[in-house]
Amino acid sequence: MAATGIAGVLGLTMPAMAVGAAEGDALTPTQQSALDLGLQVAPKGGGGAASLSPAVNPNPYLANLPDISSADYWSWNKKMDAAAAKRADSAKLAANRQAALAAPSVPPFVYDEQEPAGVVGTNDSHPDAEPIDGFGTAATRNQRVRILGELAATAAPATRAITTTEDQGSIPLATDAAIPATGGRVTTTSVLGDGPHGSAGTGSNDFDFYEVELGAGRTLTASTIGSPSTTDTILVVFDAAGEPVAANDDASFGVLASQLSYKPPAPGTFYVMVGGYSSDPLPADPNDSGSGSGGADEGNYNLAVASQQLDADFYSVRLRPGDTIGATSGGGATGLTVRTPAGEQRVGGIETDASSLYPPTSPLPGGGNTTIAYVAEEAGWYSVEVSGLVGDYEVTVEGYRPGTQGDRGRTQTVLLDFAPGRVNTGTWGGPGVRSVSPFASFVPLWGIPRASARQVENKVLAGVKANLDAELEAGGLNPNVNVEVLNARTNPELIGQENVSHIYVAGTIAESGISTIGIAQYIDPGNYGHQDEAIVLLDVLSAPAGPASSLNTFMTAASDRVKFVSAAVSNVVAHEVGHTIGNYHTDNADEVGNMMDSGGANFATNLYGVGPDGIGGTADDANVAFVTDTYAPVEGFTGLENTLNVSAWAYSGR
């Protein structure tokens, strides 16, 4: 079939074969700033039930989206929270846990906090963490511990009410909270929309700023909880230079009020901004009250702002390389953070729980206020920080060896399927069994003869194998990576077999009913599910030049098309496999290119490997790899994710 005929069958047109300015990333600078702060910029549940439809909004934790500004995290977090609670109480999870324990008849042990009740300062840092000697994955230790403690009440700051006067829409016009450096608390009732830039004025958005002085050791807290339930607020903290340093949209799943805490590295003056939620919610210039983009929510709100000393409790647990730990918090504990023996933050979360994305075979815990998971990189004492509200709490920490270590004598296989024919898209929430076009049909859309399709397939296969085998063993901390990457065309007998993950590299959004470049079935820290599925769709990747997500945007006559296309597709495949072996998304807008960078901006450099010349398939192309990078802020986790280590231990042969 001629190239134009193929394009017609797929509903596409042949790309212009010239590089151009990348289009399709419609984020404004302030929207990107909002995402960097962890604020969603898509409408919340605007489509009702349709907002969770994969044709409109596939799960953004699992999907590689062409445009991250369309991701409705608010709706998905509500759904995932309910699913996590159901999973936490399931008989299936209890059975998985018992099967993964070296001594299944041994119950978890209880550790009581040693800091005296009502006292702060004895276990409030990584160096002062209380060691829990009995915990560990070694045969002589218990793999599960329940930590019972209390976040002590410090001296309550004096509270007073303040009044506000418009215009307070910028840092220079901020209302002075007049909180002493030693601490204090103010409350107020005010209105979003009553200023000169509200909907009755210029319409560029009404922002309310409050100036707060923070002394040494003090934490800034702010909350709009108690506001009318119809007012959708956001809270942002700016430093004295006008840089945003912390933000919150929703205090918990499904709640429109906001709440945050921020402990600065040094004392100083800070500004709390109350704004209304919108798709572009930040001022372009916090020193200019008229620099908003319009469209923000308006209404009455109640605000409490305080400067105070807060208790935090640290516990240390001894881990071995490859140990996979899961932790959940309950009671007054709303935040959990894991630090390495050197004190470097690895993963943290506040009111974050993505445990419903674990496969049905995972033993890792979930539910509660916050759930985190971590794969240890080295031997030593790691700290677990507990933070949150005043009061009693319970934290569960469980540790297991990687799932593949129980498969002695068997190798996990990643099976790439370039011509599956029919695929059950219901695996990822799609409409069911659908026919999908084979990989070969898209090859001419990249300006490569269809006769070279097998050559490109083989190079994609080799690229995925390098990403998942040689590079992990060479750079990871597990010296015994044990995985095979095979082609379903030559190994059809492996389809559906145990220890075989099936990755489809075929089809389009229209054919699958899933609006994404790729999507994985699970996120599986420790790799306890060995028959995962993922799909990489090809219509976005082969679209005409222009969008940042299309490979054609970065090819010219100077490009080695086969080299570039095969490398880029292999990276997209490895990205989806990366989810199935335990990696979350990393920040796509920072300077670190990572195989697990989320969709949206920077496709060219962060996932496709386009070099400084801006042209794919030339000598300066970069090797995209699993590396250490910050978590994607909008997904709720904080710290640095070592995706190289997570991936290497996922395929542990011993």
Considering the domain architecture, whether residues 381 and 410 belong to the same structural domain is answered as no
User: DSSP label at 366?
Assistant: -
CATH number at residue 201: 2.60.120.380
With tokens 């004598």, the residue in question is 409
Looking at 401, 434, 464, the residue that finishes a domain is 401
Considering the domain architecture, whether residues 558 and 471 belong to the same structural domain is answered as yes
Q: What is the pLDDT of residue 17?
A: 31
Please check the confidence at residue 1 and state whether its pLDDT lies above 60.
no
Considering the domain architecture, whether residues 531 and 605 belong to the same structural domain is answered as yes
Q: What is the pLDDT of residue 68?
A: 87
Q: Are 308 and 601 in contact (CB under 8 A)?
A: no
Considering the domain architecture, whether residues 348 and 450 belong to the same structural domain is answered as no
Considering the domain architecture, whether residues 141 and 282 belong to the same structural domain is answered as no
Does residue 68 lie within any of the structural domains? no
CATH number at residue 432: 3.40.390.10
Angle between helices 453-465 and 561-580 (to 10 degrees): 50
Looking at 401, 423, 438, the residue that finishes a domain is 401
Does residue 124 lie within any of the structural domains? yes
Please check the confidence at residue 107 and state whether its pLDDT lies above 80.
yes
Q: What is the pLDDT of residue 653?
A: 73
Q: What is the pLDDT of residue 252?
A: 78
Considering the domain architecture, whether residues 380 and 460 belong to the same structural domain is answered as no
Does residue 272 lie within any of the structural domains? yes
Q: Write out the residue range of the structural domain in which residue 276 sits.
A: 159-308
What gap in Å lies between CA 176 and CA 307, rounded to an integer?
A: 13
Does residue 63 lie within any of the structural domains? no
Considering the domain architecture, whether residues 102 and 169 belong to the same structural domain is answered as no
Please check the confidence at residue 132 and state whether its pLDDT lies above 80.
yes
Considering the domain architecture, whether residues 299 and 342 belong to the same structural domain is answered as no
Most confident range (mean pLDDT) of 18-27, 150-159, 273-282, 468-477 is: 273-282
What gap in Å lies between CA 521 and CA 596, rounded to an integer?
A: 15
Considering the domain architecture, whether residues 374 and 243 belong to the same structural domain is answered as no
Structure confidence by residue, pLDDT tens digits, 630-648: 999 999 999 999 999 999 9
Picking from 542, 641, 536, 539, the residue whose alpha carbon sits closest to that of residue 586 is 641
Question: How much is the pTM?
Answer: 0.93
Q: Are 248 and 261 in contact (CB under 8 A)?
A: no
Please check the confidence at residue 213 and state whether its pLDDT lies above 50.
yes
Segment 174-182 shows an average pLDDT of 92
Q: Which amino acid is at 636?
A: G
**Residue 59, C-beta contacts closer than 8 angstroms, at least 6 positions apart:** 76, 357, 429, 519
Looking at 378, 401, 424, the residue that finishes a domain is 401
Number of domains making up the chain: 3
User: DSSP label at 616?
Assistant: T
